Amino acid sequence: MSTLAFWGAAGTVTGSKYLIESDRARVLVDCGLFQGGHDLRDRNWQEPPFNAASVNACIITHAHIDHTGYLPRFVNHGFRGPIYCSAGTADLMKILLPDSARLQEEEADYRNRHKITKHLPALPLYTEQDAREALKLLQVVPNTGAPVRIVKSIEAEFRIAGHILGSSQVLVHIDDKDESRSVLFSGDLGKYDQPIIRDPVAPPAADYLVIESTYGDRLHDIEEPKDALERIIKDAAARGGAVLIPAFAVGRAQEILYFIRELEEEKRIPVLPVCLDSPMAAAATQAYARRTEEHDAEFADALKTTPTPLRTHSMLACSTRDESKRVNGMQGARIIVAASGMMNGGRVLHHALRLLPDENATVVFVGYQAGGTLGRRVADGEKQVKVLGQWVPVKCRIEKIGGFSAHADWKEAVRWLEGMPSPPRRVFVTHGEPDAAQAMAAHIRDRFGWTVEVPQYGERFELS
Ligand SMILES: [Zn+2]
């Protein structure tokens, strides 16, 4: 008898961890970091709810930290098995995990230097060395649907999920002594028709389905993200104000650069200085350019006329901290793209400290803002927020561009499900805040009449 337990992305969008236990093996699908409020982040510090050393292998759907960022800690706790992922995911993990470790170390260091910690000394959750140990376990597998042996009794098939470079939906086949079962994990599901990477491919048949629900209760804006960017940048240029775009270094940052370059070439906006203030985003941009097998037709076409479709016409280097500080001190119309996307760490905080109180500045949210993050507070219109331990007033303009999300909204998720060749026995809706997950469950029941569950944290189901 096999079971599936939900140790993350239950009641929240972060910390994805799904544990499959069969008669013969234990496999963890995704190994994400919890992000957001204190209660969630505390879980990263607790002992893992299952013995890390007893897990035979990990399967990773995609590189985002909320799906991979717990791996260094997990390895530190004794996990030694292989970590299976696509080539694009491995490229990005090699950038993201050490960076996540550096952020943990820098934050602990900052708290110690400024004595803003309840724990003396503040320790990082893990170090860059831990991240390097985790990366040694990576095993690259094709993203083409070909079966891959994970452990003796478990196989997996990876297919493009269209969310970020390398992102995969993963079908897991479990062979128990007397029966076999399959579970399809949607991973994070991309939007259709977004630039650069391919659309999600149709899902294969499966006995069980685990589907994300980040936008289970919402539809994306009708305003095209590119049109919204044009409007906001023209307005800022006219006023001579700064535009700060907190963006995930991977995926969102590349799309923004792609659209700004197009808008410049189409003469719809003036050419402004653009600072991509994230060494990680710069490295990810190279990974995107290199993995030609994941490019959609439009991007492949753009490459024929422009050698660098992911560069705007006046890009500033911001790889070092000094360069970043110089950009922070600049005046006039300019665009700063900085991680992290939810303003819960990274260089964006230093820009936020300066620009949130600036009436002439615009902060543009282009991705999902999880509850408890600084980004969510600012997006929700709080008038005063704490940044790097200091209270600052929020006087800048706030804009939100919904259509930029890397996640399918509920109609797109239903469109993807319509491609399933046969109904699953049971569907588990995860990776959504409670209202979104319940709404997604209701949409699936209404449209297909399938049996749908919304699992709780730590809940375990028999795959009978
Ligand atoms: Zn993701």
* pLDDT for the residue 249: 85
**Better-scored residue on pLDDT, 118 or 243:** 243
Kindly state the tokens that stand for 366: 């282009």
Where on the phi/psi map is residue 218: left (φ > 0), alpha (ψ -120 to 50), or beta?
beta
> In angstroms, what is the span from residue 247 Cα to ligand 1's centroid?
13
State whether 375 and 432 are in the same domain.
Answer: no
Same domain, yes or no, for 72 and 101? yes
For residues 215-244, give the mean pLDDT: 92
Give residue 109's pLDDT: 86
Q: CB-based contacts of 275: which residues, under 8 Å, 6+ apart? A: 315, 316, 318, 324, 327, 334, 335, 336, 337, 338
Given a contact cutoff of 8 angstroms between Cβ atoms, the answer to whether 260 and 269 are in contact is yes
Distance 238 CA to ligand 1 centre (A): 35
Determine the Cα–Cα distance for residues 99 and 290; give it in Å rounded to an integer: 20
The alpha carbon of 177 and the centre of ligand 1 are apart by a number of angstroms equal to: 35
Q: Tell me: cis bond preceding 2? Omega within 30 of 0 counts.
A: no
Detail the DSSP E strand segments found in 333-396.
Answer: 334-338, 362-365, 384-387, 390-393
Q: Residue 118: is its pLDDT beyond 80?
A: no
Q: What separation in Å is there between the alpha carbon of 163 and the centre of ligand 1?
A: 7
Give distance in angstroms: CA of 62 to centre of ligand 1. 7
Q: Are residues 164 and 255 in the same domain?
A: no
Please give the single-letter amino acid code of residue 419: G
Q: Where are the alpha helices (DSSP H) in 306-433?
A: 321-328, 348-355, 374-379, 410-417
Structure tokens at 421: 């060749």
Q: Tell me, in angstroms, the distance from the centre of ligand 1 to residue 393's CA.
A: 31
119 CA distance to ligand 1 middle (Å): 31
Kindly provide the b/e burial profile for residues 1-34, where b requires at least 16 CB atoms within 10 angstroms of the residue's own CB: ebebbbbbbbbbbbbbbbbbbbeebbbbbbbbbb
| Better-scored residue on pLDDT, 392 or 313 | 392
| pLDDT tops 80 at residue 235 | yes
State yes or no: pLDDT of 221 exceeds 80: no
Which residues sit opposite 315 in a β-bridge?
274
The CA distances from residue 262 to 22, 58, 234, 405, in Å, are 50, 39, 14, 19
| Choice among 107-116, 335-344, 389-398, 428-437 with the minimum mean pLDDT | 107-116
Q: Residue 305's pLDDT band (boundaries 50, 70, 90)?
A: confident
Looking at residue 270, which CATH number applies to its domain? 3.40.50.10890
What confidence category does residue 404 fall into, taking pLDDT thresholds of 50, 70 and 90? confident
CA of residue 367 to ligand 1 center, whole Å? 11
pLDDT tens profile 63-105: 999 999 999 999 999 999 999 999 999 999 999 999 899 888 9
349 Cα to the center of ligand 1, angstroms? 21
What band does 115 get if pLDDT is binned at 50, 70 and 90? confident
Calculate how far, in angstroms, residue 407's C-alpha sits from the geometric centre of ligand 1.
8
Does the structure show a pLDDT above 80 at 403? no
End-to-end CA gap in the chain: 7
CA 64 / ligand 1 centre spacing (Å): 5
The DSSP letter of residue 336 is: E
Q: What is the mean pLDDT of residues 208-235?
A: 93
Q: Indicate the residue among 359, 375, 404 that finishes a domain.
A: 404
Ligand 1 center to residue 370 CA distance, Å? 12
> How far does CA 98 lie from the centroid of its chain?
16
CA of 116 to the centre of ligand 1 (A): 31
pLDDT, position 329? 83
Q: What separation in Å is there between the alpha carbon of 240 and the centre of ligand 1?
A: 34
pLDDT at 367 over 90: no
How far does the centroid of ligand 1 lie from the alpha carbon of residue 118, in Å?
31
- 3-class DSSP state of 197: strand
**What is the 191 CA–ligand 1 centroid distance (Å)?**
12
* CA 362 – ligand 1 centroid, Å: 25
Going from the C-alpha of 446 to that of each of 184, 191, 220, 328, 441, the distances in angstroms are 21, 22, 20, 50, 9
Q: Is 142 left (phi over 0), alpha (psi -120 to 50) or beta?
A: beta
Q: How far is CA 388 from CA 15, 262, 351, 352, 378, in A?
A: 23, 35, 11, 10, 14
| CA 24 / ligand 1 centre spacing (Å) | 30
**Residue 395 CA, ligand 1 centroid: distance in Å:** 30
> Do residues 328 and 458 share a domain?
no
* pLDDT tens readout for residues 31-45: 999 998 888 989 999
Task: Give yes or no: residues 48 and 176 share one domain.
Answer: yes
Residue 331 CA to ligand 1 center (angstroms) comes to 34
d(CA 385, CA 150): 46
CA 188 to centroid of ligand 1, rounded, Å: 5
Q: Which CATH number goes with the domain that contains 150?
A: 3.60.15.10
Q: Mean pLDDT across the stretch 135-160?
A: 97
Q: Which two tokens stand for residue 351?
A: 């820009």
- Claim to verify: residue 252 and residue 128 sit in the same structural domain: no
- 410 and 399 co-located in one domain: no
Q: What is the DSSP letter of 406?
A: S
pLDDT at 246 exceeding the cut of 90: yes
State the pLDDT at residue 36: 82
Strands (E), 107-248: 138-140, 144-151, 154-160, 168-175, 180-185, 208-212, 242-246
Q: Are 10 and 159 part of one and the same domain? A: yes
**Ligand 1 centre distance from Cα of residue 150 (Å):** 23
Element housing 453 (H / E): strand 452-453
Distance 146 CA to ligand 1 centre (A): 23
Cα 190 to ligand 1 centroid, rounded to whole Å: 9
- On whether both 67 and 181 belong to a single domain, the answer is yes
* Residue 214 alpha carbon to ligand 1 centre in Å: 10
Show which of 404, 422, 454 is a domain's final residue: 404
Parent domain of 267: 225-404
Q: What percent of the chain has pLDDT over 90?
A: 74
Distance 215 CA to ligand 1 centre (A): 12
The set of long-range contacts for 134-137, using a CB threshold of 8 Å and a minimum separation of 24, is 134/71, 134/72, 134/74, 134/75, 134/83, 134/97, 135/93, 135/94, 135/97, 135/98, 137/58, 137/75, 137/79, 137/80, 137/81, 137/82, 137/83
Where a domain ends, among 388, 404, 420? 404
Please indicate, yes or no, whether residues 137 and 202 belong to a single structural domain of this protein. Answer: yes
Ligand 1 centroid from CA 397, angstroms: 27
pLDDT of the residue at 228 = 94
pLDDT, one tens digit per residue, over 160-182 is: 999 999 999 999 999 988 889 99
Residue 176 Cα to ligand 1 middle (Å): 31
Q: How many angstroms separate the alpha carbon of residue 235 from the centre of ligand 1?
A: 31
Cα–Cα distance, 283 to 293 (Å, whole number): 18
Number of domains in the chain: 2
Cα distance between residue 22 and residue 417, in whole Å: 27
Residues 67 and 204 in one domain: yes
Cα–ligand 1 centroid distance for 67 (angstroms): 7
If asked whether residues 162 and 283 sit together in one domain, one would say: no
406 Cα to the center of ligand 1, angstroms: 7
CA 122 / ligand 1 centre spacing (Å): 28
Q: Considering the chain, what is the average pLDDT of its residues?
A: 93
Tell me how far apart the alpha carbons of residues 426 and 207 are, in angstroms, rounded to a whole number.
7
CA dist 222 to 228, 365, 404, Å? 10, 16, 11
